[in-house]
Amino acid sequence: MYGLIGWMDGWMDGWMDGWINQTKNSLEMHLGSDFNLLMSLSKTIVCLVFYFGAILYSLGNDRPNIVVILADDLGYSDIGCFGGEIETPNLDRLAHDGLRYSQFYNTSKCWTTRASLLTGEYWQKVTVGNGLKPETITVADRIKDAGYRTYLSGKWHLDQNRHDDPSRNPLEFGFDKFYGNLHGAVSYFNPYTLMRGKESAAGEIGDDYYLTDAISEEAVKNVRDHARDHNESPFFLYLSYTAPHWPLHAFPEDIAKYEAYYQDKSFEQLRRARFEKMKTLGILPKSAQLSEASHGDWSQVDQQWNARRMAVFAAMVDRMDQGIGQVLAALEDTGQLENTLICFMADNGASTELIGHNNGLSCLGGEAVTKDGRPIVIAGKEMSGDETTFQGYGPDWANVSNTPYRYFKVTSFEGGIRSPFIVHWPSGIGQERRGSIDHELLSHLIDLTPTFLQMAGQDIPDSIDGTSVLSYWQGKQSGNPSRVLFNHFGRSSAMYDYPWKWVQHRGDRFLFNLEKDASETSDVSQKFPQRFNSMGQRFDQWNASFDD
């Protein structure tokens, strides 16, 4: 700092001398012997202003950049560091150099998760239809008040499908820049509702366009441009991939990496292999149980078609990981990785959806044709991958993706709401804790906004439902916050009062002890009727609080 003062003093001499030369004679005439004293005092005052400004800048720069990476319809065991066979070296690197949490939860559905992630509140409070209420204040709004720049690259899915209404655009909810798709599911080769800010970006779609790559490239540009133009401020980047949400679209070279591998692997073989790998990695305890399979018999299905579908799904995850690697490289190249917090998670469990015709048509903007006029077959039996197809990978593979848990997206069983979660923050996570897996902290994406606000030095509003888990990430605290958590979407609900979990699914109610039975294989409601009933009553009270 003393060197900085010396440099500023020299700079002030040069700058002020240039100005003084223009007015020196006039000033000396009026001030006489006081002239040199005045100049010395002025230099000292200006130098002190720069000195304390440098201190404030240094303090402000200690606040970390924040990158939130959200995968779409990714199963709990799909990525390598959580037990999958899919190649994800960049996510594996984040896990190796950071922390993995085995008990992290979302809201079981795409848009509800996005609403809660961006507000720290249960989605029922902040949404209307499948969009944010216009008056909603997001984490981007709040963190911008703390001096952060805010960027969104990827899927929005929070405009109540009012794509032509600029008041529902991310730029109206705290983001300085936005590039991505407004609609919830789109073609990867010709995405419907692609926007740059509030303007259509359809003109940017070329012959070699692929949405996952474009989302990654925009995030890389955000990182590099920020370092060049706004390095006095930290940034918040929401990297919201559509991958691996249907449709199954990928490049041939990525599919080729996996097609042979899946040709001779049954659903049961892969599910069992993932389960064993998860125990070896420490994601699951040795005593873990594998939930009852819901997939079909491999010998009774079209094996070639199913192998192809899983190969395309794997290629989509692989391509997303490649893009994450590009973002990490940009952070390293610009000297920002050390003090950047990166969180990775999924918006819900793997999806069983097979895509209805009308749904697929709406996701294509109303017309099932490619850019060059070829017909697109929705939910057909063609070999998936290119832009003339529009398929999901179905319930059999979703059961594999959610290993070892029960059920899927839009349910409140663990397969619907438990997410892989990685935290990477070199300057905030001690060397001795890196690479570890935390099985104690039960946290939820509503905890992210209050955690980010604490990191940014902002107050946490009383309206926020989540709690900051910063001290847990930093290793200053262990165990769990004293609280209960809720989930409700459609006909499936849950309440957590760890280790107890109460579930309601299509009219049936269950009680599980997650500490002993995280795979929900044994309903203990009859053994603990008082707890079962009291948790059910408490959930009903919570859920009734949202009734109009």
Taking only the tens place, the pLDDT of each residue in 293-332 is: 999 999 999 999 999 999 999 999 999 999 999 999 999 9
pLDDT at residue 43 in the model: 55
If one compares 7 and 504, the residue with the highest pLDDT of the two is 504
CATH of region 65-479: 3.40.720.10
103-149 confidence digits (pLDDT tens): 999 999 999 999 999 999 999 999 999 999 999 999 999 999 999 99
* CA–CA separation, 364 and 360 (whole Å): 6
Which pLDDT score is estimated for 548?
57
Rounded CA-CA distance 81/102 in Å is 11
Judging by beta carbons within 10 Å of its beta carbon (0-12, 13-18, 19+), is residue 396 exposed, middle or buried? buried
Task: For residues 331 and 425, give the distance between their C-alpha atoms in angstroms, rounded to a whole number.
Answer: 12
Rounded Cα distance between 373 and 467, Å, is 51
- List residues bridging with 67 in a β-sheet: 237, 342
- CA separation (Å) from 397 to 24, 81, 311, 544? 82, 19, 11, 36
Q: Which of 245, 379, 259 is CA-nearest to residue 311?
A: 259
203 class by beta-carbon count within 10 Å (0-12 exposed, 13-18 middle, 19+ buried): exposed
pLDDT exceeds 90 at position 433: yes
**Is a pLDDT exceeding 60 seen at residue 518?**
yes
Q: What pLDDT score does 46 carry?
A: 47
pLDDT recorded at residue 547: 72
Task: Give per-residue pLDDT as tens, 27-48.
Answer: 455 555 555 555 555 555 544 5
How many Å apart are CA 222 and CA 178, to the nearest integer? 10
Q: What CA–CA distance (Å, rounded) separates 478 from 427?
A: 19
Kindly tell me if the per-residue pLDDT of 152 is higher than 70.
yes
Is pLDDT above 80 for 59?
no
Q: Kindly state the DSSP code that residue 431 receives in the 8-state scheme.
A: G
The strand ranges marked E within 354-491 are: 377-378, 389-390, 418-424, 436-438, 443-444, 485-489
Is the pLDDT at 499 greater than 80? The verdict is: yes
* Cβ contact 490:543 at 8 Å: no
Please report where in the chains the tokens 């890196």 appear, as a residue. 434
The confidence band for 61, taking pLDDT boundaries of 50, 70 and 90, is low
> In the predicted model, what is the mean pLDDT of residues 230-240?
98
Q: What is the pLDDT of residue 48?
A: 53
| Average confidence score pLDDT of the chain | 92
H or E, element range at 304: helix 303-333
Q: Which residues pair with 200 in a beta bridge?
A: 195
% of the chain with per-residue pLDDT over 90? 88
Residue 58: pLDDT above 60? no
Percent pLDDT > 70 in the chain is: 89
* Chain center to CA of 16: 50
* Cα 316 to Cα 35: distance, rounded to the nearest angstrom: 71
**One-letter identity of residue 241:** Y
Considering only CA atoms, which of 195, 309, 194 is closest in space to residue 249? 309
| Residue 226 CB partners (closer than 8 Å, separation 6+) | 149, 151, 235
Distance CA 118, CA 139 (A): 5
Average of per-residue pLDDT across 187-211: 98
Q: Is 365 left (phi over 0), alpha (psi -120 to 50) or beta?
A: left
Query: For residue 77, with 0-12 CB atoms within 10 Å meaning exposed, 13-18 middle and 19 or more buried, which class applies?
Result: buried
- Scanning 195-266, the segments in alpha helix (DSSP H) are 211-229, 252-263
Contact 373, 326 (CB under 8 A): no
pLDDT of the residue at 471:
97
List the alpha helices (DSSP H) in 242-295: 252-263, 267-281
Alpha carbon distance 372, 453 (integer Å): 47
Grade residue 4 by pLDDT with cuts at 50, 70 and 90.
very low
